[in-house]
Structure 1
Amino acid sequence: MRVLHAVTLHSPSHAFGGPVRVALNLAKGLRARGHEARLLALGEGFEEWPTDVEGVPAKLFPARRLLPLGFSGMTSPALLASAGRLVRDADVVHVHLARDLVTLPVALAALRAGKPLVLQTHGMVDPSEKLLAKVLDAVAVRRLLRGADAVLYLTPHEREGLDAVVGAPLAQAVRLVNGTPAQEERPALSGPPRILYSARLQARKRPVDFVDAAPGVLAVHPDAHFVVAGPDEGELGAVRARIGALGLTDRFTVPGALSSAEVLTELRRAHVYVLPSVDEPFPMSVLEALSVGVPPVVTHSNGLARDIARTGAGHAVDPGPAGVCAAVLDLLDPTANHKASRAARELAAESFSMDAVLDTLLPVYGGIRR
């Protein structure tokens, strides 16, 4: 089966975050099962233009920023001109849909060509009062959600939002959780405590809360070290300023964007992973931490919070540095950390493995092929 995965942007800095990681994980899993999966996206920031990404054949088009609207203002005339041909070559078109000028045109091309169409929105299509969102919903989004053969959602909250965008329950909605490939367990902990944040530096992710939790941790563990990794989306200046204001420059490392391999290296050195963001649908970085056996700290609005709390794989807290600090301190206890680490690995393997995800996805593909 030939499956085309379309996502907005791939770059060396992984600026677009989780949706690209999901698309790549699914494509690699499909290829391991004998299917022909490939990636279609904009590309940006490459010195040498890749023809594959992590072993997945990829067609990347140079990104052009037409409007000052972040990812929503990016497109490629060449991609738009090629979309019809690219979707016709696929047996299934799987679009990681956002309100942008890449995934919307590709999905519309698949709909026009009568190709089996799967949409996966990753929490990116929700009710919005923004003018651009209203225009795109009226022109394309509702038509696509109604016309797709399957719409994949992560959480009940996301499903409610999609129904609200359409104005009626989506009959073809299917729940599909994110998965992560099995990873080698981190080695036995040694050295000073190391606490990691690895996500986009964006206001909703609240990286400054991570910084503000550090003094309380250092009061108990004065040799602890903190890592704030990820591409800047507006908060790097605030993070650096807060680190400086607290006099903690020597306690922090801010390496910028990391490759997938570098993220896993950092995770294997970490005692605790922290993602203090709010309204996070289903973060891949937390799944990766679980797979390595690093106990995560998340807020209650995180889509993984209930599973983490239920299994004891980490802690779910109220937003803000106080809750983060208390949870990190608890997980720095060696006995508590070991117990949570085992639970994290078990949770990743039992509930969020790629085999489990593909066992759900492949019947969806099979049921819509024409």
Structure 2
Amino acid sequence: MRVLHAVTLHSPSHAFGGPVRVALNLAKGLRARGHEACLLALGEGFGDPWPTQVEGVPAKLFPARRLLPLGFSGMTSPALLASAGRLVRNADVVHVHLARDLVTLPVALAALRAGKPLVLQTHGMVDPSGKALAKVLDAVAVRRVLRGAGAVLYLTPHERDALDAVVGGAPLATTVHLVNGTPAQEERPPLSGPPRILYAARLQARKRPVDLVDAAPAILAAHPDAEFVVAGPDEGEQAAVRTRIEALGLGARFTVPGPLSGRNVLRELRRAHVYVLPSVDEPFPMSVLEALSVGVPPVVTHSNGLARAVAAAGAGAAVEPGPAGVAEAVLALLDPSANAEASAAARKLAAEAYSIDAVVESLLDVYGSVRRGD
């Protein structure tokens, strides 16, 4: 089976975050089962030669053009748009990681026009919005593709309700619950050295990386040798992070390395005692799944889509937003026995609930149903 995975952007800095990681994990899982899965996306930041594969997955990347000052929504490629019809016709299933943008929406529309089985996965990126551009795109294209798709994958009940609200009227009849999955990873080695607390996600206001900086003094009061890493592509918060580190006089305790490759994220996780993602309204973060798979207990807020599972399994902690809750949870997880218990629970949770093999098996059932027109 030939499966085309379309996502907005791939870059060396991993600026588009989780949706690309999900697409790659699914494509690699499909290819391991003998299917011809490939990636379609804009590309940005690559030198010559232009990549033709990403992590072993064949990829068709088109140089990104920024038409409007609207972040990812203002990016497109005339060459990609011109090729979309041909690319979808060559696929048996078109799987679009849908956002309100000028890449994934045109590919989804092309699949509908070609009569190709279409699966949408929105990763929480399509929800009710009062922004003028969102209203225009919803009226012109978003509702059409949501209603026309053979299956619309959702991560949480909150995301499903948001999709129903976007289309208006009767709830979507084609929604299918599918969690994100993560490949099995080598367990982190026994802990050694000073406590190391890691944040590895986009530096964006909603993800609240400054909360970790503000939690650091309380953590350092108990562990004065603790080390902190705040890694990820800058989406407006890096200056605030650096300013706050300087204001608190913590330059010697913090490293802010910028974006990391997937391999380097895993390397940092294997050195970490605790992973912290203080973001609010986070649907289903891949970075937390990766932490679980390595055995690093995560600290998340209650509005994180993984919070209940993490807390119920004893695999980490779910807290109220803000530095006080983050500091208290990190301190509790720095206790060696508590950390060891949470680490074992994290590995078990990743293997039993979020295995990429199980997710791909469920996805193949979805593909089969959409191809049959069930």
Alignment partner of 2:255: what SS?
strand
Which stretch shifts more, 166-175 or 280-289? 166-175
Asked if 1:77 corresponds to 2:78, the answer is yes
Q: Letter of the aligned partner of 2:223 in structure 1?
A: H
Counterpart among 252, 256, 259 of residue 257 in structure 1: 259
Q: Please state how far the C-alpha of 1:358 moved relative to its aligned partner.
A: 1.0
2:324 aligned partner: 322
SS class of match (1:171): coil
Identity within the alignment, %? 85
Q: What corresponds to 1:5 in structure 2?
A: 5
CA displacement 1:340-365 (0-9 Å, x = unmatched): 00000000000000111012110110
Within 5 Å, which residues of 2 pair with 1:219-258? 219-258=221-260
Listed one character per residue, the Cα deviations across residues 16-74 of structure 1 (whole Å, up to 9, x for unaligned) are 00000000000000000010000000000001310000000000000000000000000
Structure 1: distance between partners of 2:47 and 2:270: 29
> 1:159-178 maps to which residues of 2 (within 5 A)?
159-167=160-168, 168-178=170-180
Corresponding residue number in structure 2 for 1:310:
312
Specify the alignment match of 1:32 in structure 2: 32
Alignment-mate amino acid for residue 9 of structure 1: L
Structure 1: runs of 5 or more not aligned? none
Q: Which amino acid aligns with 2:51?
A: P
- Matching residue's letter, 2:3: V
Q: Give CA deviations for 1:278-333 in whole Å, capped at 9, x if unaligned.
A: 00000000000000000000000000000000000000000000000000000000
Partner residue in 1 for 2:354: 352
> What is the TM-score when the length of structure 2 is the normalising length?
0.99
Deviation, 1:368, is: 1.4
Q: Give 1:114's aligned amino acid.
A: G
Quote how far apart the aligned CAs of 1:369 are.
1.4
RMSD of Structure 2 on Structure 1 (CA): 0.5
Aligned residue identity for 2:56:
G
Deviation at 1:367, TM superposition (A): 1.1
Q: Normalized against structure 1, the TM-score is what?
A: 1.00
Aligned structure 1 segments of 4 or more residues deviating by more than 3 angstroms? none
**Residue type of the partner of 2:129?**
S
Equivalent in the alignment of 1:108: 109
* Structure 2 counterpart of 1:95: 96
Secondary structure at the residue paired with 1:277?
Answer: coil
Amino acid at match of 2:21: R
Partners of 2:203 and 2:56 in 1: CA distance: 28
**1:120 corresponding residue in structure 2:** 121
Count of residue pairs the alignment pairs up:
370
1:211 partner letter:
V
Aligned partners of 2:266 and 2:107: how far apart in 1?
32
In 2, Cα distance between the equivalents of 1:200 and 1:166?
Answer: 29
Pairwise mapping of residues 144-223 of structure 1 onto structure 2 (< 5 A)?
Answer: 144-167=145-168, 168-223=170-225
Q: 1:50: which partner in 2?
A: 51
SS at match of 1:200: coil
Equivalent residues in 2 for 1:248-287, closer than 5 Å: 248-287=250-289
Tell me the residue number matched to 1:341.
343
Letter of the 1:321 partner, please give it: P
